[in-house]
Every structure is written in structure tokens, then in C-alpha cells.
Structure 1
């Protein structure tokens, strides 16, 4: 197999068939330090609802590893679901996860990625479910999500109690880390241009109240990134009726702004070593 790493990198730890990823970054403090979702008065933060989007379906796959062997920077996702009113762990909640792969494609849908489109009908990569245990937590093994036109990188999460939706939201990443991954890891390249949307210009993120509370707390491990977050769900929330139309037409998606100009200064590549598993 051809090694897709830039030639100046040397391997410190084998990542199997996956490519090397960046780290050693000066991540924002919010992305480094986990904090419980508590607010004044002993109440948990309100659930941070976000649009479900057009690419959800239930593949009925209860599993931790959702990658199905697709390439990308390894990401371990540890989520804890608590009751929004009491902060107590929600036991027996089903947590659904889905997101785009390194190439910006969702499994299970046709006509993605531009004129002519790419079909992933019948596939189930980057999708799965877990049930929370006594501590309210679940763990998924996946990859850092890729970008697609009109959206900043994100992961969709849905929490269900007794088949009733308690929360639907989206999880986000620091812009600088995303840009570094996309620039240096082959699996995220070859897209015919740079991404057009960052966190500050993402229409969904901007419209989500308290959206910053759904940024993952990230740390580097030897061979992966580890993202953690505690999310509060309202067990008494009224059922949400989502009208799911057909996926957007080839060439883009309607939930973000048009392509921008120059990359903002905050997105410039940071200095430092590349990790996990590598050194400069």
C-alpha cells in the first residue's frame, strides 16, 4: 500500500491503514477542558437543539465502531447524556450518531458531491447507535468528519428515550484543527478546491442557541484524537415532528452561505508537530 503521508513525516506509532493526523496544536481552552453542563441554581444547561438535516436514517446497527474501514484521522468520541433538569445520568437512552466521511459523503444517499454526484445508497458507514449505561455514557470509534459545501465539519447526534426524541443536536470542532487536518491528510484532499465554510460562517451553527456548548473537548492520544462532551437532554420534551424532504441536489447543500473569499486569519496553519503517531 502506498503511504499517503507527506514525505517529510516519519512514523512514531503505526496507525494501520489510516493516515497521519495533525496535533500539537494550541487548541482553544474550550476545546481542551471538559466541563459539566451545569448552570446557576443547580440546574443543568438547557438542551442545545439543532436541525436534524436531510441525511438521517436508522440503519438499526448498535455498534461502537462506525467506520466500516473507511480512511480518516481516528477519532474516539465519548458522550455522556444527562437529564437537563437534574444533571443525573440518563440510563438506557439510545444515542444515534451519523456524519460525513473524510470525503464529505454521507452513507445511504444518491447524488452527493457536485455535478454528476456520488451515490452511497445501501451503505451504512459513519452511522450507528449505542445505549447509555449506568453512568449515562457511550463511546463511538469513528474518524474526523470531512467538509462539504455550505457546512463546517460536524457530527450529528440524536438521543432517544423509549423511542421518543429527547435531543437532536450537532457537535463541532476548532477551526484551526480542521484546517490542519484537511491540509495535511490525503484522505481529506482531492476535492477540487478549499472548503467554503468555517464555524463563524456556518448557517446552522449561527442559528443554534448556545451553540458553543456543543464544541467537543479534544485531546491527543497516541494514535487518535479523543473527543468528550456532556449533553443535557429533556426527558419531558414534546415530540418533535421533522419533515424530511429529499436530499439537496448535486453541487451543494442549501444550509450554508455561498463560498467565501480568503481564508480568515484564524484559520492559518499553526506551527508544531504532526500527530497522532508522527513527529516532524
Structure 2
């Protein structure tokens, strides 16, 4: 997709249409009032740009249900993409989402993203005899904290998908509540591509106008952590306030609005967010602020 790559064609029917949430209706009403009064130059804050991370695969699966056979709490992700200057919906954009499973593993990269489940069978044992000493010099490797891209090491593609926004800028994905791994809070990655063309071959050309991440509040994550298979995840978890990618700015920073039964989150979660983008800009994740160095992230996953 990005850089002229093509993806499979979209089937008839396009993206799911869905009604606006009460929050979005209130938000839109407030925006209209501000615009009428001439008190606002922009209708909505730009959603924060973040690093792409090492585990992106370009538009490999054109679909809305990305669950495959992964177990976890059902999650419906409802997004609305708008132009942050005009507040108009961005229609026919290609939206990518991808995230780890309940145990912290990314499809295509299981050998890199060890997660917090069962230890790999080929894990080394014993005490190393050649422990390095001194202070390291030079730049970190591209696959670590800098968020450099890594090539996939397997053919798995669970919890990844691309779909188009409808005339109202809306798109819906079916998936599971993500898990976690050392150094990062619970999150979902996203890219928004515009100015391309949907053809019989799929989405061609265009550019990424947004690369970001969606985040979950601590209450929901703690509720999920007692449900299997999340309860089997032994990785040390980073909280939302400790995370080096989330900028602590709420919805503008990608914090999702969540709805679920507080008595039993396992019944499912509905997550929604309005994503404000600049369609004329190019944000492929390389221009985003890089993660800080304070988190105790493992090198293979710190930027994902």
C-alpha cells in the first residue's frame, strides 16, 4: 500500500456503517457551535503521531474481523477519521490496525516478541561467561528502541487487518482485547493511508497521513488481567502513566473510549475514538517522537 504497494480488492458493501456514539454527537455539536462563533481555527486536535514500531506488515490482510483463532476478550474497535482542520470525514481512507495477542506475541514476529507466556523451547540456560563490561557506544540497533522495521519471520497474520472508511469516515474492526509485554502498556497500532486509489487490485499509491497507537485505561487492563488467557501472561506490565510512547494527552493521544460490563469484562468491550488527521501531511512513523529511555523495555519490543 504505502509506496505504491497493492492489496487485495475490497468486497462489495465496503466498510460497516455505524451510528455516532453519544460522546461523538456531543463533540460534533460543540465543534459546530465553536465554528459558528468563529472562535476556533481547527475543529479537532490532531491525534498524536507515534513510532511505527518494528512489527508492521503492509496491508497484508484486507478484512474487518482480524481475530482468526486467537482467544481473548472480544473487542469491537470503532473509529472515525476526520480532517482536523475542516472536521469533514475522510472517506475511502485505508486504515491498518495491528496488535499483540493476550500473551504479548505479534503475528509474523513470534521469535522476536517473546511475550509473557511459555518460555521458548530453545531458550539458553546457565550463566554467560562472556558478560560485556564498560559503557556501550554508538547508536542503538534499528530494531530496538528506535522503532526500526523488522522483516517478518513467520507466515502468521492474526490480529492484523486493513479496511476502508465509509462516507462518514467510519470503520469498524472485530478483534480481541490486546495483551502486554515487558516495557509497553496495552495498545493497538494504526496507520491511515490517503490519496491512493481503490481498484480491482486493491488500494494503490497514496501516502500515510497518520501513524499512531490506541491505548486502554488502567481499569480495563486490570479487569482483563484476571481473565484467561491474560491471567497466564507472566510479563511485567507497564502502566499507562509509565509508558514512553503514550503522551498522557487523553483522546488526542489515542486513549480509547471504552464500554463494557464492569461486572464481567469477558462479555466483550466496545472501543471508539475520533482520529483527527492532516490528509496533506505524510506521517509514516519515522518522524514521530522516539520512545524515552526510562522504561525497562526489552530491546526487541520497546518500540512496538
Q: Cα–Cα, structure 1 residues 239 and 219, in superposed 2: closer, same or farther, change >3 Å?
A: closer
Q: CA deviation at 1:250?
A: 7.3
**2:221 is the alignment partner of 1:181:** no
The reply on whether 1:167 has 2:218 as its aligned counterpart is: no
- 1:107 matched to 2:155? The reply is no
Rounded to whole Å, the distance in 2 between the matches of 1:123 and 1:49 is: 27
Aligned with residue 200 of structure 1, among 241, 246, 252: 241
State the Cα distance separating 1:252 from its structure 2 match: 5.6
Structure 1 residue 75, shift from structure 2 partner = 0.5
Aligned mates of 1:108, 1:135 — CA distance in 2: 33
What root-mean-square deviation, in Å, do the aligned CA atoms of Structure 1 and Structure 2 show?
2.9
Could you tell me how far apart the structure 1 residues matched to 2:103 and 2:238 are?
A: 15
Deviates most, 215-224 or 131-140: 215-224
Q: Secondary structure at the match of 1:130?
A: strand
Q: How many residues align?
A: 216
| Structure 1 pair 85–154 and aligned structure 2 pair: CA distance change class (3 A) | same
Tell me, which stretches of 5 or more residues in structure 2 are unaligned?
1-21, 124-151, 197-205, 288-296
Name the structure 1 match of 2:277.
233
Q: Which moved more, 1:50-59 or 1:213-222?
A: 213-222
1:123 aligns with 2:159: no
Within the alignment, does 1:92 sit opposite 2:135 as a pair? Answer: no
- The structure-2 alpha-carbon separation of the partners of 1:157 and 1:36, relative to structure 1 and needing over 3 Å to count, comes to farther
Does the CA contact (< 8 Å) of 2:78 and 2:272 recur in 1?
Answer: yes
What are the Cα deviations for residues 24-77 of structure 1, in whole angstroms up to 9, with x where unaligned?
Answer: xxxxxxxx9556485850512123211111110125311110010210000001
Contact 1:99 1:127 in 2 (8 A): yes
**TM superposition score normalised by structure 1:** 0.69
Contact 1:150 1:252 in 2 (8 A): no
Give the SS at the match of 1:199: coil
Deviation readout 1:255-276 (Å, 9 max, x if unpaired): 49xxxxxxxxxxxxxxxxxxxx
Residues 190 and 231 from structure 1, CA distance in 2 versus in 1: closer, same or farther, beyond 3 angstroms?
same
**Structure-1 separation of matches of 2:268 and 2:232:** 23
Deviations 1:152-211 (A, max 9, x none): 0000111000230110110011112101211x2111122335x331001001114x7x35
- Match of 1:202, SS state, is coil
Q: Give, in whole Å, the separation in 2 of the partners of 1:132 and 1:179.
A: 32
Task: Report the TM-score, using the length of structure 2 for normalisation.
Answer: 0.64
Contact 2:63 2:161 in 1 (8 A): yes
Name the counterpart of 2:302. Answer: 254
Structure 2: distance between partners of 1:139 and 1:171: 14
In the alignment, structure 1 segments of 5+ residues that lack a partner are: 1-31, 244-248, 257-280
2:136 matched residue in structure 1: none
What is the distance in 2 between the residues matched to 1:59 and 1:135? Answer: 22
